[in-house]
Amino acid sequence: GESVGLHLPTLSVQEGDNSIINCAYSNSASDYFIWYKQESGKGPQFIIDIRSNMDKRQGQRVTVLLNKTVKHLSLQIAATQPGDSAVYFCAENPYNFNKFYFGSGTKLNVKP
């Protein structure tokens, strides 16, 4: 079955540094991926998405990279700020237009 996993459950970075959060997926048929941010006590919040016909997509301070060869997804956050402290999930949509499978999440701690 599908599995969406994260390499590191917790990541600590210094304020101002860049952060990289990784995600592996198992279904080569997945064609749409989303990164979500979840702050404590709140629901997940959309950050950025990418389709399988792209290798890279940039947003404001965030970049998502997709390597279909090794089925790997990463989220890069530039100049990490204390407000970036949260749990980050990746989600994949393997074959159903509206059904996603979510990873367990990586907790990002930003040290001042």
Give the integer Cα–Cα distance in Å for 91 and 34.
Answer: 5
Rg (CA), the chain: 13
> Binder to other proteins among 26, 32, 63, 74 (CB under 8 A)?
32
Write the Ramachandran bin of 94: left for phi over 0, alpha for psi from -120 to 50, otherwise beta. Answer: alpha
Residue written as tokens 């790997």? Answer: 72
33 is an interface residue for other proteins by CB under 8 A: no
What part of residues 52-111 is at the interface with other proteins (CB under 8 A)? 89, 91, 93, 97-105
Nearer to other proteins, 40 or 112 (CB): 40
- β-pairing verdict for 32-38 and 10-14: unpaired
> Binder to other proteins among 42, 60, 69, 112 (CB under 8 A)?
42
Instruction: Report the nearest approach of other proteins to the CB of residue 29 (Å).
Output: 15
Chain residues that interact with other proteins, rule: CB under 8 A: 4, 32, 34, 36, 41-46, 49, 51, 89, 91, 93, 97-105
